[in-house]
Amino acid sequence: MAVPIGTYTLTDLRANRFQSVIEFGLDNINTILQRDLDAHNQIVTELLTELCEPTQDKQRVYGASIDGDMVEVDEFARSASKRQVVGSGVGFPLRNYQFPIGWDERFLKRASVSELAERAIAAQTAHKRKLRQQIKQALFLSTNYTFRDINSSPIADLAVKRLANADSMAIPNAPDGTSFNAASHTHYVGSATLTAAALTANVQNVIEHGFGERIISAIHYNDAAAVAALTGFVNAPDYRVIPATSAAATRDVTNPANFYNRFLGIFGAAEVWVKPWAIQNYVFTFDTNSPMKPLVQREDTVAGFQGLRIAATLSAHPLNAEFMEAMFGFGVWTRTNGAVLYFANATYADPTIAV
């Protein structure tokens, strides 16, 4: 029988239930785990690109439009100078999360290869769950807050903003010159029920700020039937159905069996997608192709602290570790590239997001 040739993966380790960690070799396992963590972090980064821009910035200035009118004068007159509105500071949190793995000396001497792999897979699952939770909080909670940044130097209090929420902070003008009342303009809107008019207004709330390359309305899978029943909604083609040769070309096909991440159809200017980070009774609309993403994902300035990693006590013994760690945080950057519709009440209410 030929000996299999190839590279070990975490799946191979998981299937090895009878060989001990010591017998397999600590160095071999560490190489496999590090390779798998690199792949996990790369996949996570790619999945976040539709919503987030990666950054090491702790804060930026979200700009305002330079405004004013030219005044006709005669040869002796001088127009009066006007004070310009400046942008507002936008802070991005950075938090440290741990998942206990307990790979101490006693565990490594007794454990099988599969037991170690199971803990690594559990840490990756917990990492993705925490990412989804923090994305939900950044998108759907409507109140600004102050974050004490203890994970960088010097320690500072950062003003973390939400989407445009009538907080009187300057809002850039629309491309056609339309200005917005920063004290009343909000991207968190309530509706007593889900209607075509309410969803249209939600989409328009983003488009009116100049976004429109690829508008997406993200919904929870439990709301898919209600959204698909709205007047004007066009269902996405089913990949199991072969269209007639005379049928118009379609942009995409969808797998209806994928409840959590699928293209549902078209409503007005927006593609409607079921997303795993969406919340029931809420619609989040944004322009995914704009370089001005709704969120940024802040990571540490030190490359070794970025992504999910094994937090070893000694780098010479990388598997002697009690925890896996990930340092990250999400904050709103482009406050106008995103609008939330809550369709269970005429007044917007923040969702309860489990910690």
- In tens digits, the chain (355 residues) has pLDDT values of 344 445 667 677 777 776 777 777 878 888 888 888 999 888 888 889 999 999 999 999 887 655 556 667 767 666 666 665 566 789 999 999 999 988 887 888 888 888 888 888 899 999 999 999 999 999 999 999 999 999 888 888 999 999 999 999 989 999 888 889 999 999 999 999 999 999 999 999 999 999 999 999 999 999 999 999 999 999 987 666 666 655 554 555 555 556 678 899 999 999 999 999 999 999 999 999 999 999 999 999 998 899 999 988 766 667 878 889 999 999 999 999 999 999 999 999 999 997 6
pLDDT of residue 88: 78
Nearest of 220, 249, 175, 240 to residue 344 by alpha carbon:
220
Which residues have a Cβ under 8 Å from the Cβ of 105 and sit 6 or more positions away? 320
Dihedral angle, C-alpha 103, 107, 110, 115, nearest 10 °:
-50
What pLDDT is attached to residue 1? 38
- Asked if residue 71 belongs to a domain, the reply is no
Q: How many domains does the structure of the chain reveal?
A: 1
Residue 352: inside a domain:
no
Closest CA to 250 of 237, 232, 264: 237
**What is the DSSP annotation of 123-192?**
HHHHHHHHHHHHHHHHHH----EEEEE-SSSS-EEEEE--SSBSSS---PPPTTS----TTT-BSEEEBS
Is position 151 within any domain?
A: yes
Rounded Cα distance, 49 and 297, in Å: 10
The string over 239-259, giving b where at least 16 C-beta atoms fall within 10 Å of a residue's C-beta and e elsewhere, is eeeeeeeeeeeeeeebeeeee
77 domain-assigned: no
Does residue 315 sit within a domain?
Answer: yes
Separation of alpha carbons 251 and 253, rounded Å: 7
In a domain, 349, yes or no: no
Domain that holds residue 260: 10-63+86-242+251-342
207 occurs within a structural domain: yes
Residue 325 within any structural domain of the chain:
yes
- Eight-class DSSP state of 91: E
